[in-house]
A and B are shown apart, each in its own frame.
Chain A
Amino acid sequence: EAQVTQNPRYLITVTGKKLTVTCSQNMNHEYMSWYRQDPGLGLRQIYYSMNVEVTDKGDVPEGYKVSRKEKRNFPLILESPSPNQTSLYFCASSLGRGQLNEQFFGPGTRLTVL
């Protein structure tokens, strides 16, 4: 089944404790992206990647890191999480140029930072 998977789905952590949220897609998509969803703010793009070893900042990259060493994986890294990073996170992928094509979203990861 074609899908985008994220792990973990739920995470409660404490300020400053490094964490990684994994994202993997099995559709051979070039484009992958991370978003956070907050009440009243909609979806905001954190980082995106047009292909392996190519990443770019979205609108809200501060406090996050990403890497794209393999086409299928695009992990989101929070080196030192803070409470303002409590949010619902979505990973997405699309075929070819991200500009052009519909995105397939993962199920979301709900992160709470205490």
Chain B
Amino acid sequence: AQKVTQAQTEISVVEKEDVTLDCVYETRDTTYYLFWYKQPPSGELVFLIRRNSFDEQNEISGRYSWNFQKSTSSFNFTITASQVVDSAVYFCALSQQGDKIIFGKGTRLHILP
């Protein structure tokens, strides 16, 4: 069965701390894509990153970094030196053959000033 698990329902950290959001996925496909989206308090959904199953290189974009490990079926997201503007709900998603897309339940991140 295809599944995305974001075990952390809610996380609170103090500004400037680093924080990692976990994402574990299950799929039978060998070709698949993983995504992270951000939903700030205003409600819109914003794309952050896409990673395909053949590319296990980690990615860094400013204060954001992603660690993809096929061995543990994980695609974790780290925010370094968090800021209040990072407060949001973050969703991990899996897409696979046939174009069906499965989202995790999301992690609500609170950055406290």
Contact = CB atoms under 8 A, between A and B. Distances in A.
Question: Do A and B interact?
Answer: yes
Interface of A: 31, 33, 35, 40-45, 48, 50, 56, 58-59, 88, 90, 92, 97-105, 107-108
Interface of B: 6, 9, 32-33, 35, 37, 43-47, 50, 52, 91, 93, 95-106
Nearest to B95: A99
Contacts of B52: 100
26 contacts: A41-B105, A42-B91, A42-B104, A42-B105, A42-B106, A43-B91, A44-B103, A48-B101, A59-B102, A88-B43, A90-B45, A97-B99, A98-B95, A98-B99, A98-B101, A99-B32, A99-B97, A99-B99, A100-B33, A100-B50, A100-B95, A102-B47, A103-B47, A103-B101, A107-B44, A108-B44
Contacts, number: 69
Ordered nearest first, which 5 A-B pairs have the shortest CB separation? A42-B105, A98-B99, A105-B45, A43-B103, A102-B47
Contacts of B37: 103
Nearest to A48: B99
A108 B43 contact: yes
Nearest to B29: A99
Given A43-B93, A90-B45, A99-B98, 20 more contacts: A33-B101, A40-B9, A41-B105, A42-B91, A42-B106, A43-B91, A43-B106, A45-B103, A48-B101, A50-B99, A56-B100, A58-B101, A59-B102, A97-B99, A98-B99, A99-B33, A99-B96, A103-B35, A103-B37, A108-B43
Given A41-B105, A105-B45, A56 B99 contact: yes
Nearest to A88: B43
Contacts of A42: 6, 91, 103-106
A40 B105 contact: yes
A88 B89 CA distance: 15
A98 B45 CA distance: 16
B43 A45 contact: no
B55 to A, nearest CB: 13
B50 A58 contact: no
